Structure 1
Amino acid sequence: MAAKTYSISELARELDVTTRTIRFYEEQGMLAPSRRGQERIYTPKDRVTLKLIMRGKRIGFSLAECKALIELYDPQGDNSNQLTNMLGKITERRMQLDQQLLDIQQMQLELDIAEERCRAALQGKSTGQEEDGSV
């Protein structure tokens, strides 16, 4: 029994991406379907690769990071190197997100202060008090 294969439209529909997205990953050397005339024929391995790319993009990995992790995968071998690299990338991504969260919280505090000063200045204007010009 032959292994299941996929057309570009089947793969796009199944993974909820555009055919242009799939062709882009081909151009980047991340997918290499065989051809039957002009038709692209994707294997289950191509399907898994595309799923890994999409997952990596969802969690914020760059395309280069996704590519490097996928290249480390060996379906018949020990994938501890790939998994170790993945754990390192996850740790890096968590640190970036933690920093972004701190930055967002700091911005929110700055916005709160600016809003408070604006409201106080408006309140002072309505009561006839002088403003000092600082917001």
Structure 2
Amino acid sequence: MTAKTAPLARSEAAQREKPRETSYSISALAKEFGITTRTIRFYESRGLIAPERVGMTRKYSKRDRARLILILRGRNLGFTVDDVSEYLLLYDSDPGQLAQTRLLLDKVVAAIDDLEAKRHDIERSLADLGEIRARCEMHLRKTAGPQR
């Protein structure tokens, strides 16, 4: 499991394990999802989550936790914070989730196309590098003579 996918795996496991709590502290969420409190405050500053304030303490609801799961999943899939924000806005305003689903489908198709293009570029680069390596090795064998 890579560092980039670790929060996603933890969030899915955590989602199954902790459905009963009604509120969460910032440190509890950070620990649960393997992220920093600064990351959570960043998402809060962007309006993606909105915890209740009790004095100076943030109190995160089940809704905030669920939104954090969606945010982390989207970020792990390579979506920008603005993409995730747009998705969450539709999630709140579209009870039938049709617009949200269309937007998500468009973003997913674009991400797949982008990754396929990158894979093609990587495969081409690997082939080119393999060819260069083979030429270099052949040149060294011809000019260096037999190795002892």
**TM-score tier (shorter):** 0.7 to 0.9
Where 2:39 maps in the other structure, the secondary structure is helix
The amino acid that maps onto 1:37 is G
Find the partner of 1:112 among 103, 116, 130.
Answer: 130
- 2:61 & 2:29 partners in 1: Cα distance? 10
Q: Is the Cα contact below 8 Å between 2:23 and 2:61 reproduced in 1?
A: yes
TM-score between the two structures when normalised by the length of structure 1: 0.87
> 2:88 corresponds to which letter in structure 1?
I
Q: Using the TM superposition, give the Cα deviation of residue 75 of structure 1 relative to its aligned residue in structure 2, in angstroms.
A: 7.9
Find the aligned partners of 1:66 and 1:22 in 2 and give their Cα distance: 14
Match of 2:114 in 1: 96
**Greater Cα offset, 6-15 or 88-97:** 6-15
More helix by share: 2
TM-score (norm 2): 0.80
- Alpha-carbon distance change, 39 to 48 in structure 1, aligned in 2, over 3 angstroms: same
Query: 1:123 corresponds to which residue?
Result: 141
Name the counterpart of 2:6.
none
Q: Which runs of 5+ in 2 are unaligned?
A: 1-20
Give 1 or 2 for the bigger CA radius of gyration.
1
Aligned to 2:78: 60
- Higher relative contact order (Cα pairs below 8 Å, separated by 6+ residues): 2
CA–CA separation in structure 2 for the residues paired with 1:78 and 1:90: 19
103, 106, 110: which is aligned to 1:85? Answer: 103
Shift of 1:76: 7.8
TM-align CA RMSD: 1.8
**Local SS of the residue matching 1:73:** helix
Runs of 4+ in 1 over 4 A off after TM superposition: none
* Aligned twin of 1:31: 49
Tell me the number of residue pairs that the alignment of Structure 1 and Structure 2 aligns.
Answer: 126
